[in-house]
Chain A
Amino acid sequence: MGEWWTAAAAIAGTIAVYAASKRAYRGLPVPLMLPIVTGTIFIILFLLVSGIPYSVYMNGGQWIESLLGPAVVALACPLYEQRHLLKRYLLPILSGIGTGAVIGVVSGLAFTAAAGASKEWTAAVLPKSVTTPVAMDITTTLGGDAPLAAMFVMVAGIGGVVVHARVMNVVGVTDPVAKGIGMGSAAHAIGTAKSLENSETEGAVSSVAMTVSAVIVAFLAPLAGNLFL
């Protein structure tokens, strides 16, 4: 009975925190105010102050988390709806995303090796350029911790949004399709939201890049992990 009650409270509390942080982001739409950033900070502070152990909170939290699997499956819907983009620019899009995916995994391996990071850390860094639920799955498969993976995914997403315009200038990219590929491959859903503000084409391409990149990295990261970890 007690367990049932705490689970219900955790679920209701998480939804309330999410709704409030979503509203706060609407009032101040900057990357550091994203619901995942403010919501995470709020729940962590709440757990620390109240002394409620994370495992008790997860009695309810696990029910919300269990919807992540079906949410990843649902990514097939927007991808299929944008299939005309893939058909029209198949080679440039796939080459761009593929290059980004390889560079991301290889540089992740190189940097973690140079820093002397353990297997667990490396497993959390490798999938950092793909959307959070997929990154957490990849990291778990590689024997790392999902929360750490989510943390690195957020760094990539927020960092990517902040530097996107400058990076495009440096590499001399002006085409909206090419801009969307860089955003979706490097900064996943957080970047896609920003690309949608820039232009419809850039946003649509970014959402395609985010999903295709997730599939490519889901194959690439375990391969790299098995070879080098």
Chain B
Amino acid sequence: MRLVRIVIHIVVLYVFYWTGTWIQDVLQLPIPGSIIGMLLLLAVFVFTAATPKWLQDGSGLLLGNMPLLFLPVTAGLVVHGELFSLLGAGLITAVFISTLLVMGTGSWVTQYLLKRGERYRG
């Protein structure tokens, strides 16, 4: 029974994904169809009586094993020898520094606004 539920839930998620890619195609949007599909599902949760519980088995299985789903793609690095170059190493360093900046600024801005909000509230 649980297996049937998992399959049905994943089929429903697929329908949202296909609808998202269809919208991207028709409207020629640069935003990935998967994100459009996610926003559609979010809209359904917000505007109808539907809740994430209805998709729990399928979504839990997919989200809990996400690394399995992109293993085939990351294995594609096997045809990307160019990563092991000076430019590749430089860009890896750049990504690392950029990560520090994103983390530091994002957290700092959030804490600044949280504290300011507290002060206004008294």
Contact = CB atoms under 8 A, between A and B. Distances in A.
17 contacts: A18-B65, A39-B67, A39-B68, A69-B20, A70-B16, A71-B13, A73-B38, A80-B42, A103-B105, A111-B95, A125-B91, A160-B99, A167-B100, A168-B107, A173-B107, A177-B111, A218-B35
A29 interface: no
B34 A95 contact: no
Given A40-B74, A93-B110, A64 B68 contact: yes
B27 interface: no
Chain A interface main SS type: helix
Contact of B34 (A72, A121, A172): A72
A115 B92 CA distance: 11
A154 B67 CA distance: 11
Given A74-B59, A141-B30, A175-B114, A17 B71 contact: yes
B110 A68 contact: no
A204 interface: no
Given A40-B71, A70-B58, 10 more contacts: A64-B68, A72-B37, A99-B109, A103-B102, A111-B95, A117-B91, A147-B76, A181-B110, A186-B106, A222-B30
A173 B111 CA distance: 7
B91 to A, nearest CB: 6
B98 A107 contact: yes
A15 interface: yes
A196 interface: no
When A and B form their complex, which 7 residue pairs have the shortest distance between CB atoms, in order from nearest? A61-B72, A100-B106, A182-B107, A96-B110, A222-B30, A137-B32, A111-B94
Contacts of B103: 100, 160, 163-164, 167, 182-183, 185-187
B22 interface: no
A155 B96 contact: yes
Which of B21, B42, B109: most chain A CB closer than 10 A?
A: B109
A77 B72 contact: no
Contacts of A125: 91, 94-95
B74 A151 contact: yes
Given A74-B59, A133-B70, A163-B103, A69 B17 contact: yes
A68 B98 contact: no
A54 B46 CA distance: 42
A125 B94 CA distance: 9
A117 B109 contact: no
Interface string B55-98: 11011001101111111111111111001000100111011111
B110 A147 contact: no
Contacts of A54: 75-76, 78-79
A48 to B, nearest CB: 7
Contacts of A228: none
Contact of B72 (A65, A71, A111, A177): A65
Interface string B12-27: 0110110011000000
A188 B17 CA distance: 21
A204 B39 CA distance: 19
Contacts of B51: 80
Contacts of A116: 87
Interface in A121-157: 121, 125, 128-129, 131-134, 136-138, 140-141, 145-148, 150-152, 154-156
